[in-house]
Amino acid sequence: MDTRHPGNPGAAAAPAAACPALLVTAPASGQGKTLATAAIARHYGRQGLRVRVFKCGPDFLDPMILQVAAGAAVHNLDLRLVGRDACARLLADAAAQADLLLVEGVMGLYDGTPSSADLAAAFGMPVLAVIDASAMAQTFGAVALGLPSYRDDLAWHGVLANRVAGAGHAAMLRECLTQRTRWVGCLDACAQAGLPERHLGLVQALEIADLEQRLDAAADALRIDAPLPPALRWPAAPAPAQPQRLRGRRIAIARDQAFAFLYPANVELLCALGAEVTWFSPLRDPELPRCDAVWLPGGYPELHLPELAANAGMLQSIRAHHRAGRPILAECGGMLYLCESLRDAQGRSAELVGLLPAAAAMGARLAGLGQQSVELCGDELRGHTFHHSSLRTELPPWKRALTPGGGAGEAVYRVGALTASYLHWYFPSSAQATCSLFGG
């Protein structure tokens, strides 16, 4: 398994760091993992602890919330997408600078391959299960008992009851636990702490004007009745040196309310490869900054159609960049922006950049989900897909991604120096392939 990861080229190995860690999970999606993880991070941050938070699986929206809660960048951990060795380096690097590591799981504890449970088992992380107890009494005890009983290779910290109605409800829940499950605490139901959602998940952090107040309210509503687990030792390992194949190249990255689905590790790798990174807004800037390549990540262009279509200077600037033969990488929402037209969920349509001979339309149901990979430059570039839109085009795919089971995945299109796909790439899975996409 490829486990390359950006870091300090040639850095010497440091002594193992000691730091407690918790994998915060749940029986299913929708139980309140993100809010609970954010509340825990802010709770211990108020006590003066340095908290670093990670997100299990390929996710962009939850890390935005968690970054605000902890005050530090949130990296993704996944045994397939990121690789075990790179996960170990990320955890060790964070442990050397923190007093507590929190990892928010994905879906339910045992869902997916690899699952959150697989990640916890790989690193010996104690598991904290968040259980929505809003419509539950004694059955809370059965769920709390069943989760650790399913596998015997996990270290268990205990359970945290979420959306609790008050002290009486909390006491009832606590009393129904057996000796095999420990009560860690509860998060009271709090209207001021809820996180708004939309079709791809939580609303982006930068769009929630009162996010700090919501996180403070969640921390106020949290009651922790158990100490943190003992510290784990995280052996440090230097990241492999990266060839400076992008030295001297300036890469312009779109980042605003319409385009914000970015892995921090992707930007770190570009810098480790020698690239100079600059940022721009397709919504507000009149043209591209001076650059050798453009990266349009995913996001919500369908929610900003009038503004994107009206920014004629930016549309012309991107077309001129393409005519000059300079690379463009467009992922999911970035690809939709480059289509001839995009229709939103309400049926409103706008003409956009038009570099990709295609018409895109938002749908009511999920149209793509899961991890996939593409062979590029003799290497495997991994990523994931998660979208509600569909593309109508006669352009034949340049490449076709593969699912982990070997099935046909998303199309990858190539028009001149433009590469576009529904896939969100994880660049550290192949530095070589990443360099080729940006002309290195």
Q: Which residues are catalytic?
A: 332
CA nearest neighbour of 422 among 354, 337, 308: 337
CA nearest neighbour of 24 among 147, 177, 176, 174: 147
Under a CB-based contact definition with an 8 Å cutoff, are residues 243 and 273 in contact?
A: yes
Secondary structure (DSSP) of 117-139: HHHHHHHT--EEEEEE-TT-STH
Count CA atoms within 13 Å of residue 306 on its CB side: 1
Alpha carbon distances (Å) from 336 to 168, 174, 250, 293, 368: 51, 50, 24, 18, 14
Q: Alpha-carbon distance 372 to 385, whole Å? A: 7
Q: Alpha-carbon distance 395 to 27, whole Å? A: 43
Under a CB-based contact definition with an 8 Å cutoff, are residues 277 and 293 in contact?
A: no
Bridge partners of residue 370, in order along the sequence: 385
